[in-house]
Structure 1
Amino acid sequence: MMSEEQRFSFSSVASGFDEHITKSIRGYTDLRDDVVGISRYFVLDETNVLDIGCSQGTMLKRIKDENTQAPNANYTGIEINKDFKQHWKQETNLKYKVEDVRESDALSNMSFAISLFTFQFLAEKDRLSLLQKIYDNLVDGGAFVTAEKIYSMNAKVQDMVDSLYYDFKRQSFTEKEILDKEQELRHLAKLTTENLLISQLRSVGFRGIQIFWRNFNFIGVLAMKRPPEDVGDE
């Protein structure tokens, strides 16, 4: 836990971020396992794999280790917060960079791209342009996986889910820690709805869009570029 005097920031939890997010999002371990598993169907040799908002770099390293069928794929993690840098271990075909993805030249020849709980921190005007950039730089048959916190259009459902979610967080955090984080993220995160997220993915060209993970008000979505004909368009 953070000290009573220390307010939440991503820098304040950088040293133990993997543990922090696991305690903050129920089922996060399953989500990460699912993303690693999904990667096996898309990572190709001589292509790039990108993790946007890679934090400690743990998941990207796992994806690289999992995809032995593509020994010459290149893996890049992008993270805007420099406090995560101390946890990175560069190795052959695996590198991490501190930079703003909106200004990055790492988006090219990608077979697989990931963004977990990152887009919600982008300004509305930047989301569609970045989604379009990701789509345009995926190879045919490539895939983008994103996970976001969403809100329900039904106020009663939203209140119910919020209550259950807070009960979960109280297992690991004090009331003050929960409130401090909520107040901080309120100024940073701009949540979307499930329907709007899917609509935005579709508008830039993605097809075969599928929600593959859900827990409380968090969802994981798989979207493909020109998927095979036997993959549905829903």
Structure 2
Amino acid sequence: MSNKDTIFSAPINKIGDFTFDERVAEVFPDMIQRSVPGYSNIISAIGMLAERFAKPHSKVYDLGCSLGAATLSMRRHIEQEGCEIIAVDNSAAMVERCKLHINAYRSETPVTVVEADIRNIEIEDASVVVLNFTLQFLSPEDRVTLLKKIHAGLRTGGILILSEKYVFEDETANELLIDLHHDFKRANGYSELEISQKRSAIENVMRPDSIQSHKARFEEIGFSSNEVWFQCFNFGSMFAIK
């Protein structure tokens, strides 16, 4: 069972940038469930999409795997022979706990957990690639470079699953969806102080794009099809098929 997220519950004099350190890894399941609307639905459906798109003797990548929720969901659903899941995260604390989660369950589908920067990972012979709330932490230039690398490493007909927080070009809609997200966090027990301090910590390291920006980038890179398959407030998930 996850520890409760109380990282921002007391006043902090100087709020630094948010990092996926030991403290965050310790409370991450609670933090993400209480902060990201629809997270459980997304994780479940990632497994369903992997079941549909994973091909025999191919590789499946979970880039920015954190504690391995998407990896475990895919492993439960993938039945194709010879598939290998490669889960990557640059946080040592996350990788250490992810390995414990992966090793707690037996499966025919092998999983390799790698501590590395996802920008330096080679993508090859992939049928499924997952970026679950990860791309938004990269610079705009690095996003394009990584997506091009993923496209090149995917088999024809392979799928990229991209979950992100979104900004909206309509200012009224954007503000409403931000307010609804904050209501969601309040309903899950976060105080005004926690919401405010977390927002201050994360605003310099997480830079969301609009859905239109994501779609334009997919098309420019050469994906044959892309669409939003899930959205709740200003969070959602898209697919892009090569």
Above 0.5 in TM-score? yes
Partner residue of 1:32 out of 23, 26, 43: 43
Q: Is 1:189 aligned with 2:206?
A: yes
Q: Does 1:151 align with 2:167?
A: yes
Q: CA 1:170–1:9 in 2, change beyond 3 Å: closer, same or farther?
A: farther
Seen in structure 2, the aligned counterparts of structure 1 residues 9 and 127 have a Cα distance that, compared at 3 Å, is closer
Instruction: After superposition, give the CA deviation of every residue in 1:167-226 in whole Å (9 maximum; x if it has no partner).
Output: 11112212221111111111101111110111001111112212100010112101101x
**1:61 pairs with 51, 60, 72, which one?**
72
Q: Match of 2:106?
A: none
| Corresponding residue number in structure 2 for 1:4 | 10
In 2, are the aligned partners of 1:52 and 1:79 still within 8 Å (CA)?
A: yes
- 1:21-66 deviation per Cα after TM superposition (whole angstroms, max 9, x unaligned): 1110111101111111111111011110000110001220221121
In structure 1, how many angstroms separate the alpha carbons of the residues matched to 2:152 and 2:136? Answer: 21
Percent pairwise identity: 24
Q: Give 2:63's aligned residue.
A: 52
Distance in 1 between the 2:26 and 2:58 partners?
31
User: Offset at 1:5?
Assistant: 5.7
Q: From 76, 90, 93, give the equivalent of 2:86.
A: 76
- SS at 1:112 equivalent: strand
Match runs of 1:1-234 below 5 Å: 1-2=5-6, 3-4=9-10, 9-11=19-21, 12-68=23-79, 70-87=80-97, 88-89=99-100, 93-105=110-122, 107-171=123-187, 172-225=189-242
- CA shift, 1:19, in A, is 2.3
Question: What is the TM-score normalised by the length of structure 1?
Answer: 0.90
Measure, in 2, the Cα distance between the counterparts of 1:163 and 1:77. 34
**How much has 1:9 moved relative to structure 2?**
4.0
Aligned mates of 2:140, 2:191 — CA distance in 1: 32
Q: Distance in 2 between matches of 1:20 and 1:174?
A: 13
Query: Which 5+ residue runs of structure 2 have no aligned equivalent?
Result: 104-108
**RMSD after superposition:** 1.6
Residue aligned with 1:147, SS: strand
User: Counterpart amino acid of 2:130?
Assistant: I
| Paired residues, number | 223
Task: Determine helix, strand or coil for the equivalent of 1:114.
Answer: strand
Q: For residue 48 of structure 1, what is the amino acid of its counterpart?
A: K
> Under a length normalisation based on structure 2, what TM-score does the superposition of the two structures give?
0.87
Offset at residue 18 of structure 1 (A): 2.1
Asked if the contact 1:23–1:169 (Cα under 8 Å) also holds between the matched residues in 2, the reply is: yes
